[in-house]
C-alpha cells in the first residue's frame, strides 16, 4: 500500500531528536544562568546571609549543587507535558477546537495502566521476577493505557463532537467540558463500585524506585547526593520514543500526509479521496494513546493517582501547547519542555530566594506569567503560524 514501504526516512527520525536536544539544552542553559545570576546578586543581601547563618552554605553553592537535579526533574515532567500537549495540538490542528476532555483521557490511561498492574500484583505476577519481567509488565501497562485512552478518545469524538461538526465553535467546546466532567465522575463511580476507593497507588516492583547516584556533594552540614531515579530515565526515554514516533507518522508516512491535508482543508482533502472522518478518528486515536501513555508514566513518576489526576497536568499541557503555538507539533514539544523546566526551577529555588516566604506551592505563578507574556508579544505562540497568513 505504502509506495515508500521499505525506505525509512532517516531525516525525519533524527530531526525531532535534534530538536529535543536543542530545546532541552537551551532551556537548561537559559534558566541556569538566570538562577546563577540571581544567586550571585542575592548572596550579597540579607537573603544570602540568612541562608549562610542557617545552613552554613552560600546561596550560590546551594544553587549550583541543586542544578543537575533540577534540570533532570524539569526534563522528566517537561516530556510528560509535551506528550499530553501533543494530544491537544493534534486535535486542534484538524478540528480547530480544544478538546478539554483530553485531561480525563490522560487520567483514564493512568487508571487502566495502574489497575492492570494492581491486578498483576494481586496474582503475584510482579513479585520476585527478573528485571526483564518487570520491564515487560511496565511496557504492557503502558500499552494498555495507550489502547484504553486511544479507544476512549475515538468514542468521545464519535459521540460528543462529530454530531456537532457544523455547529458554532463554542458548542463542541461546551460539549468537551461536559465530557470532561462526565469522565471524572465515571472514573469515580467505577473505582468506588469495584475497589471502594478513589486513590490508587501504582505497585512497587522492578528497580524503578532505585536511584542511580553519580556522586555526593557536601554543603554545609548536609550532604547532597547527585543522582537520578530509574523511573525518571524511563519516563524520558519513553516520551522521547513516542515523540519521535509521532513525528515520523505525521511527517514521513502517507497517513501523516493525509492528516496534514485534512488539517489544512477538509473539503479539498475529501476531493483527493481521503475519508476525512477516518482521519479525524485516527487523530483522536493517536492523540489519546499519547495521552494515555503519559498517564501511566505520570503514575509511575508520582505513584498516586485519583479521578482528578488529569486536571493539573491537562491544564499545564494545554498551556504548553498554547505557549508553543497550538496546532504545531514542534511547538507542543518546546512548550512542554519550557513549562516543565520553569515549574521545577521555580519550585526548587523560589523558597531559598525568598527566605521561605514563597515556597514551591507558588511555582505555577511563573509558568503562567510566562504564558501571559508570550501571548502578549506573540499571540500565536512561540512556533505557531500567523493566523492572518493562513487565511
Partner 1 sequence: MMLEVKNLHVYYGSIHALKGINFHVDKGEVVALIGANGAGKSTTLSTISGLLQPAEGNVIFQGEDITLTPAEQTVQKGVVQVPEGRKIFATLTVMENLEMGAYTQRDKNQFKQDLEYVFTLFPRLKERQKQLGGTFSGGEQQMLAMARALMSSPTMLLLDEPSMGLSPILVEQIFEIVQSINKKGTSILLVEQNAQMALSIADRAYVLETGEIKLEGSAQEVLHNPTVIEAYLGGH
Q: What per-residue string of b and e applies to 296-319 under the rule 16 or more CB within 10 Å gives b? A: bbbbbbebebbbebbbebbebbbb
Give the nearer residue to partner 1 in terms of CB position, either 93 or 310: 93
- Binder among 126, 176, 274, 332 for partner 1 (CB under 8 A): 274
142: three-class secondary structure by DSSP: helix
Minimum distance of partner 1 from residue 153's CB (angstroms): 22
| 188: contact with partner 1 by CB under 8 A | no
Give the nearer residue to partner 1 in terms of CB position, either 50 or 270: 270
| 270: contact with partner 1 by CB under 8 A | yes
| 269: contact with partner 1 by CB under 8 A | yes
| 1: contact with partner 1 by CB under 8 A | yes
Task: Please report how the helices 46-55 and 329-353 are oriented relative to each other, as an axis angle in degrees rounded to 10.
Answer: 70
| 272: contact with partner 1 by CB under 8 A | yes
Using CB under 8 A as the binding rule, the residues of this chain from 229 to 268 that contact partner 1 are 254, 257-258, 260-261, 264-265, 267-268
Residue 105: count other Cβ atoms within 10 Å of its Cβ.
Answer: 33
**Contact (CB, 8 A) for 31 and 337:** no
3-class SS letters over 197-211: CCCEECCCCCCCCCE
Give the nearer residue to partner 1 in terms of CB position, either 185 or 385: 385
Closest C-alpha among 87, 108, 99 to residue 308: 108
Minimum distance of partner 1 from residue 272's CB (angstroms): 5
| 273: contact with partner 1 by CB under 8 A | yes
Q: What share of the chain is helix, strand, coil (3-state, %, to 5)?
A: 75, 5, 20
**Contact (CB, 8 A) for 321 and 374:** no
Minimum distance of partner 1 from residue 390's CB (angstroms): 8
Give the nearer residue to partner 1 in terms of CB position, either 55 or 270: 270
Which region, judged by CB under 8 A, interacts with partner 1, from 270-278, 307-315, 330-338, 353-361?
A: 270-278
Minimum distance of partner 1 from residue 243's CB (angstroms): 20
| 276: contact with partner 1 by CB under 8 A | yes
Minimum distance of partner 1 from residue 167's CB (angstroms): 15
Minimum distance of partner 1 from residue 264's CB (angstroms): 5
Residue 204: count other Cβ atoms within 10 Å of its Cβ.
Answer: 11
Minimum distance of partner 1 from residue 271's CB (angstroms): 5
Give the nearer residue to partner 1 in terms of CB position, either 179 or 261: 261
Minimum distance of partner 1 from residue 260's CB (angstroms): 6
Give the nearer residue to partner 1 in terms of CB position, either 95 or 112: 95
Closest C-alpha among 38, 14, 8 to residue 243: 14
Compute the C-alpha angle 165/166/168, nearest 5°.
105
Name the helix (H) or strand (E) containing 214: strand 211-219
Phi then psi for 359, rounded to 5 degrees?
-90, -165
Close Cβ partners of 17 (under 8 Å, ≥ 6 residues apart): 240, 244
| 271: contact with partner 1 by CB under 8 A | yes
| 9: contact with partner 1 by CB under 8 A | no
Minimum distance of partner 1 from residue 278's CB (angstroms): 9
Give the nearer residue to partner 1 in terms of CB position, either 55 or 277: 277
Name the maximum alpha-carbon separation found in the chain: 73
Number of residues that bind partner 1 (CB under 8 A): 19
Give the nearer residue to partner 1 in terms of CB position, either 166 or 196: 166
Residue 237: count other Cβ atoms within 10 Å of its Cβ.
Answer: 11
| 30: contact with partner 1 by CB under 8 A | no
CA 218 to chain centre: 33
What residues make contact with partner 1 under the rule CB under 8 A? 1, 3, 254, 257-258, 260-261, 264-265, 267-276
Amino acid at each position: 500500500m505504502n509506495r515508500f514501504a521499505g525506505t525509512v526516512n532517516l531525516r525525519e527520525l533524527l530531526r525531532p531528536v535534534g530538536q529535543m536536544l536543542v530545546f532541552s539544552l537551551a532551556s537548561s542553559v537559559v534558566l541556569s544562568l538566570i538562577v546563577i545570576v540571581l544567586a550571585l546578586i542575592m548572596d550579597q543581601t540579607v537573603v544570602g546571609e540568612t541562608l549562610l547563618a542557617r545552613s552554613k552554605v552560600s546561596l550560590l553553592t546551594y544553587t549550583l549543587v541543586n542544578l543537575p537535579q533540577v534540570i533532570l526533574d524539569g526534563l522528566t515532567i517537561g516530556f510528560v507535558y509535551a506528550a499530553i500537549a501533543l494530544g491537544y495540538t493534534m486535535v486542534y490542528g484538524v478540528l480547530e477546537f480544544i478538546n478539554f476532555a483530553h485531561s480525563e483521557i490522560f487520567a483514564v490511561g493512568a487508571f487502566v495502566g495502574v489497575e492492570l498492574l494492581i491486578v498483576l500484583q494481586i496474582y503475584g505476577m510482579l513479585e520476585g521476577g527478573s528485571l526483564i519481567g518487570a520491564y515487560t509488565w511496565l511496557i504492557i501497562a503502558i500499552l494498555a493505557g495507550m489502547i484504553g485512552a486511544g479507544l476512549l478518545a475515538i468514542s468521545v469524538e464519535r459521540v460528543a463532537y462529530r454530531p456537532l461538526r457544523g455547529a458554532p465553535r463554542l458548542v463542541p467546546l461546551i460539549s468537551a467540558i461536559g465530557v470532561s466532567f462526565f469522565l471524572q465522575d465515571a472514573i469515580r463511580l467505577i473505582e468506588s463500585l469495584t475497589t471502594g476507593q478513589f486513590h490508587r497507588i501504582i505497585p512497587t516492583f522492578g528497580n524503578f524506585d532505585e536511584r542511580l547516584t553519580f556522586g555526593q556533594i557536601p554543603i554545609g552540614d548536609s550532604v547532597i547526593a547527585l543522582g537520578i531515579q530509574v523511573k525518571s530515565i524511563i519516563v524520558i526515554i519513553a516520551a522521547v520514543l513516542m515523540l519521535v514516533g509521532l513525528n515520523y507518522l505525521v511527517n514521513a508516512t502517507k497517513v501523516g500526509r493525509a492528516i496534514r491535508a485534512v488539517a489544512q482543508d477538509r473539503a479539498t482533502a475529501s476531493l483527493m479521496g481521503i475519508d476525512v472522518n477516518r482521519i479525524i478518528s485516527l487523530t483522536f486515536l493517536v492523540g489519546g494513546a499519547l495521552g494515555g501513555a503519559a498517564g501511566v508514566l505520570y503514575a509511575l513518576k508520582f505513584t498516586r493517582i485519583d479521578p482528578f489526576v488529569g486536571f493539573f497536568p491537562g491544564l499545564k499541557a494545554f498551556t504548553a501547547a498554547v505557549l508553543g503555538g497550538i496546532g504545531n507539533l514542534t511547538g507542543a514539544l518546546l512548550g512542554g519542555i519550557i513549562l516543565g523546566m520553569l515549574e521545577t526551577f521555580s519550585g526548587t529555588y523560589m523558597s531559598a530566594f525568598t527566605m521561605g516566604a514563597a515556597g514551591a506551592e507558588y511555582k505555577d505563578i511563573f509558568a503562567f506569567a510566562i504564558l501571559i507574556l508570550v501571548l502578549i508579544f506573540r499571540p500565536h505562540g512561540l512556533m505557531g503560524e500567523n493566523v492572518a497568513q493562513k487565511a
